[in-house]
Amino acid sequence: MSEKRPLVAVLTGAGISTDSGIPDYRGPQGLWQRDPSAQELVTIGPYLASTEVRRRSWLMRRDVGALDAKPNAGHRALVELERAGVPLRVLTQNVDGLHQAAGLTARKVIELHGTAAEVQCVRCRVVGPMAAALERVAAGEADPACKECGAVLRPRTVMFGEALDERVLDQADAVAKACQVFLAVGTSLQVRPAALLPRIAVEHGAKLIVVNGEGTPYDGEAAEVIREPISEALPKLVRRLVDGDLAAL
């Protein structure tokens, strides 16, 4: 009988999508480095309290162009890992949907922070496409309201100041406990509770590999730290995993 292949869990952050044209938040060229006030645009309190914050937030979403972004070599590498038959789960802090767009099986992607592809009314909870809301912004609406009840619309993402969905977090926790290899890719590992997942994995015997341009709090616990650009590093790492090259870690 063939040896059972190890479960690989991959936690991805904003760094995996920067080559798709989506800026990260905390990196040297990140959105908050260029404009520290931009953090309030994705923080629930200011967003709900201020029409001006919402206006700027809609413009930011329009200008970032996440809905038009295309998967890059990093996203495609994880698809190749799945197609090679390696048991895989992706836990993503991103809301851009690029893992699924690249061809990864949707049920294998756990979106910790929700999705930017949809909006939701804060009052009646009706859900609609983000693209339609952005079309209203392009047509001149500074702060498009819910068409059903007139209340505030918000992205279906977990904003700063909000808790993650407990069911989603439980799924991610179970994956971290069950995996034999845990990749942390393009994430600063500073935002909890997602940042706790690598420690859970290590405590349950997984080998941790960090792929990130900057240092993280977990570098000292990692079996390997890779500083190369993600679009270059991840395809090479995937080839090693497909070949079963875990003994070298």
- List active site positions: 113
> 157 - beta bridge partners?
114
To which H or E segment does residue 175 belong?
helix 166-178
Contact 179, 192 (CB under 8 A): no
CA angle 190, 112, 89 (to 5 degrees): 100
Contact 18, 186 (CB under 8 A): yes
For residue 127, with 0-12 CB atoms within 10 Å meaning exposed, 13-18 middle and 19 or more buried, which class applies? Answer: exposed
What is the distance between the alpha carbons of residues 158 and 141, in angstroms, rounded to a whole number? 24
Taking alpha carbons only, the member of 155, 159, 165, 133 closest to residue 46 is: 159
What is the distance between the alpha carbons of residues 218 and 211, in angstroms, rounded to a whole number? 11
What is the distance between the alpha carbons of residues 208 and 242, in angstroms, rounded to a whole number? 17
Strands (E), the chain: 8-12, 88-92, 109-111, 114-121, 127-129, 153-157, 181-185, 207-211, 224-226
DSSP 196: G
